[in-house]
Amino acid sequence: MSRHILIASKDKRIGELAKEAVQSLDYNVVVAADLSLALYLTNKNMPDLVVTDEDLINGSGFDLLSELGTDDELGVIPILFIGKNGSDGQRALDLGAKKVIANPKTIDELFLELMPHLKLDEKAPKQRPEYSPE
Answer yes or no: is 129 within a domain. no
Contact 69, 96 (CB under 8 A): yes
The per-residue pLDDT for 104 is 78
Answer yes or no: is 121 within a domain. no
| pLDDT greater than 70 at residue 74 | yes
CATH number at residue 19: 3.40.50.2300
Total number of domains constituting the chain: 1
Answer yes or no: is 28 within a domain. yes
Answer yes or no: is 73 within a domain. yes
Answer yes or no: is 9 within a domain. yes
Per-residue pLDDT band for 132 (boundaries 50, 70, 90) equals very low
User: What is the Cα–Cα distance from 8 to 4, expressed in whole angstroms?
Assistant: 13
pTM confidence score: 0.82
Residue spans of beta strands (DSSP E) within the chain:
3-8, 27-32, 49-53, 55-56, 59-60, 79-83, 99-102
Answer yes or no: is 58 within a domain. yes
Answer yes or no: is 75 within a domain. yes
75-89 tens-digit pLDDT: 999 999 998 776 788
Task: Give the range of the structural domain holding residue 101, as residue numbers without chain letter.
Answer: 3-115
40-69 tens-digit pLDDT: 999 999 999 999 999 899 999 999 999 999
